[in-house]
Amino acid sequence: MRKILGSLTIVGAGLALALAPAAAAQAADLPPLAALPSPICNNVVVAGAGGHPVPVPAANSVQRCYMQRGDGKTDTSSLRTMQAAINICYIQKGRLGNMAPLSLASPDTFGPKTEAAVKAVQRWHGITADGGWGPQTRSVMQWPDNDTLACRTVPLS
């Protein structure tokens, strides 16, 4: 029994040492997160644009909120609303070249594909392409309305 436990301890330690460089390398691929301004997007509100209801991310009822890659705090409905708008108003319309549509199924985090899409939208609109989503990106981005899926710019409220 002691030999088995000793062997498991050695194997476990070896496995931890073997995995440590991979974990460090993966962490090195991610840039350090800048402090995310407040508030973090935590729900979706329906704004009006030309008499049409348009869902947009918000923090409670405030539309000036923030999301960024790796923040781990962004609400799924906020993130999915933003990703769906990028798919409908930019990717499907060919505005971002041959970029593949963002997956709305999984994972429910702001990952590298969403960051790349946000940067592409920011470049398309001629604003700083930092990949973070906040009031500046929100104010220039187009959103599909609930009635016709026509893409509209929605004023911040």
pLDDT digits (tens, 9 = 90+) for 56-65: 998 888 888 9
CA distance 58 to 114: 18
Domain extents for the chain? 1-30, 43-153
**141: Cβ–Cβ under 8 A, 6 or more apart, which residues?**
85, 86, 89, 121, 125, 153
CATH architecture of 43-153: Orthogonal Bundle (1.10)
More confident residue, 77 or 141: 141
Angle 12-14-18 from CA coordinates, rounded to 5° = 115
Alpha carbon distance, N-terminus to C-terminus of the chain: 68
Please check the confidence at residue 31 and state whether its pLDDT lies above 60: no
Residues present in the chain in total: 157
- For residue 119, count other CB atoms closer than 10 A to its CB: 17
**86: Cβ–Cβ under 8 A, 6 or more apart, which residues?**
96, 102, 114, 117, 118, 121, 141
Beta 142-144 vs 52-58: how paired, if at all? unpaired
Q: What is the average pLDDT value for the chain, to the nearest integer?
A: 76
